[in-house]
Structure 1
Amino acid sequence: MPDLLQTYLDTPEGAGQVLAHARLLLRLAGWYQEIAPPHLGQASSVANLKSGIVVIHATSGAVASKLRQMAPTLVDAFSQRGLVCTGVQVKVHARQGQTAAIQPTLKPLSSRASQELKHLSESLPASPLRAALETLLARSSRQE
């Protein structure tokens, strides 16, 4: 049975082409990490190779812009390693699992600060400030 699977993977009409392309992309990814400056290499990755054009995904527009400026250098470096490379296409593509915004650290109020804010809120007339203080106090009491 394993021989049949390997035979299927190696045939042109089987998954052999996909497997060969995947191996090439792994090799390209290694080369790219050697070629690209470390700060750009960490914020981008090789995504594909289409008709001699290396497709790179960048995590932000700033990284993509820098990589587009480096495109001729990248093409030369890939070509020197034996790849038939005619160009580099850079796309902005956020990596999976990356959070859009950093969640703020929740810091509970001390009991004294809580009491002082409660007294202040009770002394205020109905207003947006009083509502904000009451919301703050309600949230801080849930955290404790």
Structure 2
Amino acid sequence: MADLLENYLQDSEGAGKVLVHARLLIRLAGLYAEIAPTHLARASRVANFKSGVVVIHADSGAIAAKLRQMAPTLVDQLSQRGIECSGVQVKVQARDQREPARAPAHKPLSVRTSAELTALSSSLPTSPLRRALEGLLARSAREE
């Protein structure tokens, strides 16, 4: 079964073109990381290569502007490394910055801290601060 899949992926009539293009993009991404200044490479990435033009997605307009200024240098450097590159097109395409929500880290209260907060809470008149302290004490883990 694995041989059939590999044959299909390497077939020039089917997915082979996609595989070749994907390999070219991986190679371009590596070359781009070598050529571009580190701070610009971190804020951008190779998105595509079509008709001799490398398409780069930048995270912001400022990064895109700087990359557009560098386009002739990027073309020359890629050409010197064996890529038939006639131009660079830069587009602003911010990355999705959302990270999965993390459970908050619960650091247990020491016995002393717990006792001091309890005493403070008890000494306060009924108020939002007192309720907040009581809530904190109710939810907090305590060291034994």
TM-score, normalised via structure 1 length? 0.71
- Which position in structure 2 is the counterpart of 1:68? 65
Residue pair 2:10, 2:16 contacting (<8 A) in 1 also: yes
Moved more, 102-111 or 24-33: 102-111
Q: CA, structure 1 residues 138+88, in 2 after alignment: closer, same or farther (shift >3 Å)?
A: farther
Q: CA, structure 1 residues 8+120, in 2 after alignment: closer, same or farther (shift >3 Å)?
A: closer
- The gaps in structure 1 that reach 5 residues or longer are none
Residue pair 2:106, 2:141 contacting (<8 A) in 1 also: no
Identity %: 54
- The gaps in structure 2 that reach 5 residues or longer are none
- Which position in structure 1 is the counterpart of 2:89? 88
Structural RMSD (CA)? 3.4
Question: Aligned with 1:141: secondary structure?
Answer: coil
- Which position in structure 2 is the counterpart of 1:18? 18
Q: CA, structure 1 residues 53+102, in 2 after alignment: closer, same or farther (shift >3 Å)?
A: farther
Q: Deviations over 1:22-80 (max 9, x none)?
A: 1110110111111122233344432322444433345x53xx62243123243443344
TM-score, normalised via structure 2 length? 0.71
Residue pair 1:53, 1:89 contacting (<8 A) in 2 also: no
Q: Deviations over 1:72-99 (max 9, x none)?
A: 243443344333242232421137xx73
Q: CA, structure 1 residues 4+100, in 2 after alignment: closer, same or farther (shift >3 Å)?
A: closer
Aligned length: 138
Q: CA, structure 1 residues 37+79, in 2 after alignment: closer, same or farther (shift >3 Å)?
A: same
Residue pair 1:75, 1:88 contacting (<8 A) in 2 also: no
